[in-house]
Amino acid sequence: MRSSVIVFPGSNCDRDIAVALEKMQFKNQMVWHKETKLPKSDLIVIPGGFSYGDYLRSGAIAGKSLIINEVKNAANSGCLILGICNGFQILTETGLLRGTLLRNKNLKFINKDVYVKVTNNNSKFTNKYKKDQILNLNIAHNEGNYFTDQKHLDELKNNNLIAFRYCDEKGSINDFYNPNGSLENIAGIFNSKKNILGMMPHPERMVDEIISNKDGVNLFSSLLN
């Protein structure tokens, strides 16, 4: 499977995701933001970091960058797009995903391992997970507090477009285990066609037991499935 990782000035999880993809046998290429053409790809990843310093608003400037038009075209023709952390923020800025990511409820950067529940395992991204499987993933962000309007929220729920939700160790979804104030504990969502996934937790940080755990592995192997 061919993957492309978009590198913006200020991206800083680009190497991490590339390492994970290569480890999972993806044929990966890095694509610099000034490029106007994307290499043929089955998967495009927008990595975490602070694109353009996240000045103005997280993801706002990246959402207007040269390469992003190509990403939009690819998305519209059905290419799989994965946005992680800043990548999720950028996807909401481009309109490929709806809603927005607000400042964390506690107004602080949060880095910790949290539990998330796979609420939809019927997708290209999650089919190797069990439904309601509980994963322990790392989050690291200032703006991860997902918000959207009621109509869109209903749509997300009715069409089963919520991919991951923050939960406790046993899978219960409650306020106490909502790290950043996200609406309905949302940690990741699909677009309506489910070819785009945006998520705040970092699956690429969870593919190596010496460093953390392997809870992120199945996201990549789902894509290969």
Partner 1 sequence: MKITDQLVEKHGLKKDEFENIKKLLGREPNLLELGIFSAMWNEHCSYKSSRLHLKKLPIAGEQVIQGPGENAGVIDIGDDDAIVFKIESHNHPSYIEPYQGAATGVGGILRDVFTMGARPIALLNSIHFGAPDHPKTKSLLNGVVSGIGGYGNCIGIPTVGGETKFNETYNENILVNAMAVGHAKKNKIFYSKAKGLNKSVVYVGSKTGRDGIHGASMASAEFDEESEEKKPTVQVGDPFTEKLLMEACLELMKDNSIISIQDMGAAGLTSSSVEMASKGSLGIELDLEKVPCREENMTPYEMMLSESQERMLIILEDGKENSAKKIFDKWDLDFVIIGKTTNTNKLILKFNNKIEGEIPIEALASKAPVYDRKWIKKKPSKIKVDLKNLKKIKIEDALIKILSSPNHSNKSWVTNQYDQMVMCDTAQKSGSDAAIIRIHNKDKAIAVSVDSSANYCKSSPLTGGKQIVCENWRNLIAVGAKPLAITNCLNFGNPENKEIMGEFAECINGIKEACEFLNYPVVSGNVSFYNGTNNKNIYPTPVIGGVGLIQKLTKPINHYFKKENSSIIVIGKTIGHIEQSCFLKENYSINEGLPPEINLLNEKNNGESLLKLIEKNLVLSSHDISNGGLITALCEMTFSSNFGAKIYKPKKLTNMFKYFFGEDQGRYIIEIEAENLPKVEKILKDDKIYYENIGFTQKEKFEIEGELNILTKDLFKINNEWYNKY
Binding residues for partner 1 (CB under 8 A): 9-10, 12-13, 15-16, 19-20, 34, 48-50, 52-55, 108-112, 138, 140, 142, 202, 204-205, 208, 210-212
Q: Of 13, 93, 143, 202, which residue is the catalytic one?
A: 202
204 labelled catalytic:
yes
Amino acid sitting at position 182: S
Measured between alpha carbons, how far apart are the two ends of the chain, in Å? 10
Q: Of 85, 93, 141, 167, which residue is the catalytic one?
A: 85
3-class SS of residue 59 = coil
Nearer to partner 1, 184 or 208 (CB): 208
Nearer to partner 1, 191 or 212 (CB): 212
Dihedral, 1, 140, 128, 39 alpha carbons, nearest 10: -10
202 labelled catalytic:
yes
Nearer to partner 1, 123 or 218 (CB): 218
Element (H, E) at 163: strand 162-167
Give the count of beta carbons closer than 10 Å to the beta carbon of residue 193: 10
Minimum CB separation of residue 205 from partner 1 in Å reads 5
Q: Of 70, 93, 143, 204, which residue is the catalytic one?
A: 204
Give the count of beta carbons closer than 10 Å to the beta carbon of residue 106: 11
Nearer to partner 1, 25 or 225 (CB): 25
141 labelled catalytic:
no
Minimum CB separation of residue 59 from partner 1 in Å reads 14
**Distance (Å, rounded) from C-alpha 24 to C-alpha 225?**
12
For residue 137 the two structure tokens come to 């993933």
Minimum CB separation of residue 48 from partner 1 in Å reads 8
Minimum CB separation of residue 210 from partner 1 in Å reads 6
**Distance (Å, rounded) from C-alpha 26 to C-alpha 147?**
33
Active site positions, annotated: 85, 202, 204
